[in-house]
Structure 1
Amino acid sequence: MPDDETRTLHSKPTPLGPLSDAAAPGPSPWLLRLVMAGLVLAALNLRPAITSLGALLEEVRDGLGMSGSVAGVLTSVPPLCFALFGVMAPRLARRFGAGAVVCAGMVAIAAGLAIRPFVGGTAGFLAASALALMGIAVSNILMPVIVKRWFPDRVGTMTGLYSMALATGTALAAALTVPMTNALGGSWKTGLALWAVLAAVAVVPWIALVRDRGTAPGQPTARQQKDAPVLRITRSRTGWALASFFGLQATAAYITMGWMPQIFRDAGVPAFTAGLLLAVTMAMGVPLAFVIPRVASRMRNQGPIAVFLSACGLIGYAGLYLAPAAGAWAWALLLGVANCAFPLALTMIGMRSRTGAGVVRLSAFAQSTGYLISIPGPLLVGVLYQHSGGWGLPIALMAALLVPQMIAGVLAGRDRTIEDEC
């Protein structure tokens, strides 16, 4: 078992070459610290747009006059936007530089969150949400790419750091949205708009990185591009397995973020406590999102981790079905562990390719395809909930989806790279 971060980073050079000229001097320490700060602040803003809405979904539904099916559409918007806009990230990074793209993404998040509660009507709310989610989508794709470029010898550590920040932002939005809303007069519009402030702060470090326009992150030089073979990820079984794993874990995550507070509220749990339960679920990702990538990067096969996480989810859903209120805190903890499939997926994206160029393609393919896979899940949960009048069928669906997720995780975790398969 290797004792360094990610074994694939020490593989033999490939025709695509390194991320930068081997003879070029390394980046200065202050620049690395700036990139690190930018990664953390960006990651903090990649989920509050979603979990803040989940905490106030009932109030938003009442305020905008939504049915359960329309609310299901609303919870399906994030993965749809991530799939549609995520595929643009590599091309935008090549043309403008990753720093400029992420900076623009943070601006879009801030703008979307600031205006969506006040535009009026469901259509305007969806359009403003899509603006924020567009910024999240391109940043989602570029996070592993930026880590691979700036910290090639610390992929596990840096993936864990920004995954932990992402989980922190997710949990904070779930825990604080309701009390902040109550403290500011009880308007759900104010409670949702407040998260635009955090996104505005995240713009600052990326402004200094806008001019980072050399070779795009993970991209070979022009000569290397000319000499490199074409990498067709659609021919890679590992690429498809990773996309499937990413899509199924995203399905579970967005169902949890969008509907779990409502499940607890329908079981008689107060709104404030339901928000705290979602926060506990998301907060489990804070320590585990740092630990799992470090452990996974030292293992030849990450399949056992995927099996363990899915098993925790199955137990959590069983408890949510049988005793949602009585064992609420235990189920929230178990589902929080299961949701840590996300940092595992990000780590495997960095490990299943030997080069930065491969990571760019694999990240875009796995995340965009994965988010397409995840679109029907939250919508179907809303439809089943409305037409069955309860949570039995939706919870059964959530549990059933963990079985193919477990299988895909085992296949994606095998010790191989997309370059070998393509």
Structure 2
Amino acid sequence: MTATHDSARRTAKRLPATPMAGLIISGVLLAALNLRTAVTSVGPVLSEIQDGLGMSAAIAGVLTTLPVICFAVMGGVTPALVRRFGDRAVLLVALGATATGLILRAGIESVPVFLLASTAALAGGAIGNVAIPTIVKHHFPDRVGALTMTYSTSLALGSMLAASFTVPLEQLAGGSWQWALGLWAVPAIIAMVPWLFLTTRGDARRRATGANKPIRGITRSKLGWMMLIAFGSQSLIAYVMFGWLPEIMRDHGFSAAQAGVMLGVFTAIGVPVALITPILATRRPNQRALMVFLVSGYFVGMPALWLGGQSWVSWAGLVFTAISMGTFPLMLTLFVLRTRTAGGTAALSAFAQSGGYLMSGVGPILVGVLYEVTGDWTAPFCILLGSAVVHLFSSWTTTSDRYLEDELAAKAG
């Protein structure tokens, strides 16, 4: 039996019930809830933000592109920050940056300051993207599936809540989009509490023992590059779907309200999928069958979304495509399963996410251009299906039973 399979069996056991473990788990859950609120709360009130700040369409385009830029840049530097300050302290500061940015952008009327505050909020989420898998690997190496399940579900839930409730919050606040955006700072502040109670002595000991030493040469790793391509192609599909799904459905003849409901359903399906996928992934040393199953849904769902029109076919396509989005929590799990150390997890996660988000950022822009030029969704869906093919082939490497550190050691030897 392989070490990975043995670890998978241990994953099925209950999480350790010590007070420290409980505090870390609650901190991870609360932090993950806030990783996307700064992103998904903007879209529903983007028109109001433009009107309120006198923001041009070009600047609005910059605002919608900021998430992938921040995720790419800050994700790349997070391993160095973790080595220097410790994962707990870095996550605490990241949550503070998110809360501060959300508060500041809700209380100003300057476009440049709004963009800077948004950058701070998004940078916090970007750092959390890398810091949380590192914390899971460090504190719960034998509970990867259970912890990844919990935080990826929390992440999906936070994304859904921010997307679904920002407009109702705006209405409750008397039409104030500033209050609607600023209120999302509250869960970020609450998420800081567990990390304020956790001491940094564990981080200091880990730095002293070298358990989180930097991983060198990841650019020479086939696994690293395949993880980057797999993560980027998956994220490209996700960002296009979140950004353009309502417009596609409205072109099919659905009303604006119906299209909004469809986006909400699409997002909500991700919650149970995120619950199941990491546990299934950790039960075997090889995750290829699970990945093929998930990706196959794209090849059923996206043609149905493309050609379904105003019928049940489009709804069926939405469900199949939403289930396939389970490739995202699977990728989060693979960052931990394909590494032996917390340092390896941080390096692989940062490399794949920084490059992958840059790759994915092209998707929504390219789809918009193609739709504007051609006047239909044929070319955009060809891009999406092509990305699914790329994701499938690149994932063939990332889902095999191998480790980043072993590959790099073999190359060095």
TM-score (norm 2): 0.87
Q: In 1, are the aligned partners of 2:285 and 2:401 still within 8 Å (CA)?
A: yes
Query: Could you tell me which residue of structure 2 aligns to residue 152 of structure 1?
Result: 141
Distance 2:62 2:370 in 1: 13
Residue 19 of structure 2 corresponds to which residue in structure 1? 30
Q: Which amino acid aligns with 1:339?
A: M
Shift of 1:371: 1.6
Aligned partner (choices 376, 379, 386) of residue 393 of structure 1: 379
Correspondence for 2:129 = 140
Distance 1:117 1:316, change over 3 A: farther
**Contact 2:83 2:214 survives alignment (8 Å):** no
**1:198 equivalent in alignment to 2:187:** yes
User: Counterparts of 1:101 and 1:47 in 2: how far apart (Å)?
Assistant: 17
Structure in which a larger fraction of residues adopt helix: 2
Alignment match, 2:178: 189
Letter paired with 1:116: R
Contact 1:285 1:337 in 2 (8 A): yes
1:221 corresponds to which residue? 209
**3-state SS of the aligned residue for 2:203?**
coil
Counterpart-to-counterpart distance in 2, 1:231 and 1:128: 34
Partner-residue secondary structure (3-state), 2:198: coil
Tell me the residue number matched to 2:411: none
Shift of 1:325: 4.0
Distance 1:236 1:382 in 2: 34
State the 1:403 CA deviation.
1.1
Letter in 2 for 1:407: F
Deviations, residues 233-283 of structure 1 (Å, cap 9, x unaligned): 222211111111111111222222233234334545444443332222222
In 1, distance between residues paired with 2:320 and 2:139?
Answer: 34
- Which structure 2 residues correspond to residues 316-327 of structure 1 after superposition, within 5 A? 316-327=301-312
Quote the offset at 1:189 in angstroms. 3.1
- Note if 1:79 corresponds to 2:68: yes
Say yes or no: does 1:41 pair with 2:27: no
Tell me: CA distance 1:326–1:129, structure 2 relative to 1, closer, same or farther (3 Å).
farther
Q: Does 1:120 align with 2:109?
A: yes
Of 208-217 and 140-149, deviating more is 208-217
- What stretches of structure 2 of length at least 5 have no aligned partner? 409-413
* 2:39 alignment partner AA: I
Task: Decide which of 288, 291, 297 is 2:282's aligned counterpart.
Answer: 297
Read off the aligned partner of 2:248 and give its amino acid letter.
Answer: I
| Counterparts of residues 231-270 of structure 1 (less than 5 Å) | 231-270=216-255
Q: Give the 3 Å change call, closer, same or farther, for CA 281–172 of structure 1 in structure 2.
A: same
Query: Structure 1 207/269 Cα, relative in aligned 2: closer, same or farther at 3 Å?
Result: farther
Asked if structure 2 preserves the Cα contact closer than 8 Å seen for 1:105 and 1:139, the reply is yes
Q: Which amino acid aligns with 1:141?
A: V
Match of 1:360 in 2: 346
Distance 1:154 1:191, change over 3 A: same
Against the structure 1 CA distance between its residues 331 and 356, is the aligned structure 2 distance closer, same or farther, given a 3 Å change threshold? same
Greater Cα offset, 351-360 or 137-146: 351-360
| Residues 123-168 of structure 1 deviation map (CA, whole Å, 9 limit, x = unaligned) | 4433222111100011100111100111111011111110111111
> CA separation of 1:271/1:320 partners in 2, compared to 1, >3 Å: closer, same or farther?
same
- Aligned CA distance change for structure 1 residues 62 and 241 (closer, same or farther; 3 Å): same
Question: How far apart in 2 are the matches of 1:57 and 1:408?
Answer: 35
The DSSP-based 3-state class of the residue aligned with 2:200 is coil
Structure 1 window deviating more from structure 2 (308-317 vs 79-88): it is: 308-317
- The structural deviation recorded for 1:169 is 0.9
Measure, in 2, the Cα distance between the counterparts of 1:290 and 1:98.
Answer: 24
Stretch deviating more after TM superposition (114-123 or 274-283): 114-123
Task: Give secondary structure in 2 for the equivalent of 1:88.
Answer: helix
Residues 9-68 of structure 1, C-alpha deviation per residue, up to 9 Å, x if partnerless?
A: 9xxxxxxxxxxxxxxxxx981111010000000111111222222333444455556676
CA-based RMSD: 2.8
Match of 1:282 in 2: 267
Residues 95 and 124 in structure 2, CA contact (< 8 A), matched pair in contact too: yes
Q: Is the 8 A contact 1:6 1:351 kept in 2?
A: no
Alignment correspondent of 2:77: 88
Structure 1 residue runs of 5 or longer lacking an equivalent are 10-26
Whichever residue aligns with residue 189 of structure 1, its letter is Q
Whole-Å separation in 1 of the counterparts to 2:60 and 2:252: 19
Tell me which residue corresponds to 1:416: 402
Between the aligned partners of 1:229 and 1:264, the Cα distance in structure 2 is: 47
Aligned length: 401
Distance in 2, Cα, partners of 1:379 & 1:118: 29
Q: Structure 1 residue 335 and structure 2 residue 308: aligned?
A: no
- Aligned-partner residue type, residue 184 of structure 1: A
TM-score computed with the length of structure 1 as normaliser: 0.85
Aligned to 1:14: none
The alpha-carbon distance between structure 1 residues 406 and 230, as it changes in their structure 2 partners (threshold 3 A), is closer
Q: Which moved more, 1:101-110 or 1:262-271?
A: 262-271
Shift in Å, 1:200: 1.6
Task: Determine which of 173, 176, 189 is the counterpart of 2:162.
Answer: 173
| Pair 296,343 (structure 1): closer, same or farther in 2 beyond 3 Å | same
Q: Do the aligned partners of 1:248 and 1:401 also contact (CA within 8 Å) in 2?
A: yes
For residues 156 and 339 of structure 1, do their structure 2 counterparts lie closer, same or farther at Cα, with a shift above 3 Å needed? same
* Residue identity matched to 1:30: P
Per mean C-alpha deviation after superposition, the further-off stretch among 170-179 and 131-140 is 170-179
Q: Aligned to 2:401, what secondary structure does the other structure show?
A: coil
Larger relative CO (CA 8 A, sep 6+): 1 or 2?
1
- 1:375 aligns with 361
The separation in 2 between residues aligned to 1:61 and 1:393, in whole angstroms, is 29
**Rounded Cα–Cα distance in structure 2 between residues aligned with 1:386 and 1:210:** 54
Contact kept in structure 1, 2:134 and 2:342, CA below 8 Å:
yes
- SS of residue matched to 2:400: coil
